DNA sequence: TCAGAAAATGAAAATCATTTTCATTTGTTC
DNA sequence: GAACAAATGAAAATGATTTTCATTTTCTGA
């Protein structure tokens, strides 16, 4: 993935710096839904001199490159995940422990298309977030 | 709806003041997805001395009373809608003009239950937001 | 009717995630 | 190596929302 990011940066006359590499590597290592702060803390362990700002900036670039997606569950800040991870999917979010489970359901996707068609609406993307209590917390 | 709000307030030893009445009335009049600021501006027309804070506080109370729902589309602030309005529904959001269209699809709801069941997940609520381009903007 | 207590109000300050600014450092080009 | 572009990190700014606080309003019970 780093190579794709480098390509994206080059196309824009930007550079793949040591800091950016570190941020991206750390991000990709944790196939999770990390907030900027969580990622910052992880990166900081390896390179304490890194700035908060650089993490934010790198995440923004990744999102622009479409290599990361920003998600907004209901905890007041954005969470990011690698775009390649599992392809498109939706989420089950536990209100007790905060765990996030991913799922895909072709049936739902098809029905969404149908709904959109009926409204003359052209879909670009969507978010289906199901909140509740996970198996472990019940 | 005002009566239900009053009941809720009374149960908590709170009061249905003139300001709260005005905010709630204005809110209910506009069966739309209003942001706090939009509502504030509408209320201000009728009562210029009203404070921003009161609008926020009233919306929060309405949400706690489950008479309003806060929605978070992707414009950086919360939008509210009366809870009774049309019952549960999901949204089609136009990325060009910002228009919001509501829909319900029983099939999708059922499939969500199925997905949840398969994961041992107990649903409390969910949000399905479909983004794209509306009929008028295509 | 009045005093005291509780709740509400609005302005201003605080909060918190995120973005911007800016002085300095690093990398690239010629 | 000089000149220029881009990147960095710290600190300040931003913007939506919440909190604080002094003041006002409302309610309760002599
Ligand atoms: Mn995911
Ligand atoms: Mn709606
Ligand atoms: Zn859980
Ligand atoms: Zn539109």
Which residues span the domain enclosing B24?
Answer: 2-82
Distance of alpha carbon A53 from its chain centroid, rounded? 18
On whether residue B137 sits in a domain, the answer given is no
**Closest residue of chain B to A123, computed from CA coordinates:** B132
pLDDT tens per residue across span A69-111: 999 999 999 999 999 877 899 999 999 999 999 999 999 999 9
How many domains are there within chain B?
Answer: 2
CA distance A105 to B108: 10
A52-56 contacts: CB < 8 A, separation 24 or more?
A54/A19, A54/A20, A54/A23, A55/A23
CB contact under 8 A, B121 and A132: yes
Q: Which helix (H) or strand (E) holds B118?
A: helix B106-118
In this structure, what CATH number is given to the domain that contains residue A95? 3.30.1490.190
**Which positions of strand D lie within 7 Å of protein CB atoms?**
5-11, 15-20, 26-27
Mean pLDDT throughout A112-135?
98
Mean pLDDT throughout B8-22?
96
Kindly state whether residues A60 and A106 are assigned to the same domain: no
On whether residue B138 sits in a domain, the answer given is no
On whether residue B127 sits in a domain, the answer given is yes
B104-112 contacts: CB < 8 A, separation 24 or more?
B105/A111, B105/A114, B105/A115, B107/A107, B107/A111, B108/A108, B108/A111, B108/A112, B108/A115, B111/A105, B111/A107, B111/A108, B111/A111, B112/A108, B112/A128, B112/A130
Q: Does A72 touch chain B (CB under 8 A)?
A: yes
Kindly state whether residues A54 and A101 are assigned to the same domain: no
Kindly state whether residues B71 and B6 are assigned to the same domain: yes
**A35 CA: nearest nucleotide by C1':** C17
Render the burial of A105-129: b for 16+ CB within 10 Å, e for the rest.
beebbebbeebbeebebebeebbbb
Q: Which ligand ends up closest to the CA of A101?
A: 1
In this structure, what CATH number is given to the domain that contains residue B37? 1.10.10.10
State chain A's mean pLDDT as an integer: 96
Predicted structure pTM score: 0.92
Among A95, A124, A129, select the one facing B127 at the smallest CB separation. Answer: A129
pLDDT tens per residue across span B57-110: 999 999 999 999 999 999 999 999 999 877 899 999 999 999 999 999 999 999
Kindly state whether residues B6 and B46 are assigned to the same domain: yes
In chain A, residues 85-114 whose CB comes closer than 8 Å to chain B: 92, 94-95, 101, 103, 105, 107-108, 111-112, 114
Kindly state whether residues A6 and A72 are assigned to the same domain: yes
Q: What is the reported pLDDT for A1? A: 85
Kindly state whether residues B10 and B64 are assigned to the same domain: yes
Kindly state whether residues A67 and A114 are assigned to the same domain: no
């Amino acid at each position: 993935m780093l190579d794709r990011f480098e390509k994206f940066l080059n196309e824009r006359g930007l550079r793949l710096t040591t800091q950016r590499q570190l941020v991206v590597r750390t991000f990709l290592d944790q196939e999770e839904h990390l907030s900027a702060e969580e990622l910052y803390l992880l990166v900081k362990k390896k390179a304490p001199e890194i700035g908060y700002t650089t993490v934010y900036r790198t995440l923004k670039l990744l999102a622009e490159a479409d290599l990361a997606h920003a998600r907004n569950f209901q905890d007041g800040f954005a969470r990011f995940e690698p775009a390649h991870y599992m392809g498109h999917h939706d989420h089950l979010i536990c209100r007790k422990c905060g765990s996030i489970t991913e799922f895909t359901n072709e049936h739902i996707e098809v029905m969404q298309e149908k709904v959109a068609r009926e409204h003359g609406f052209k879909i670009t993307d969507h978010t289906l977030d199901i909140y509740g209590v996970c198996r472990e917390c019940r």
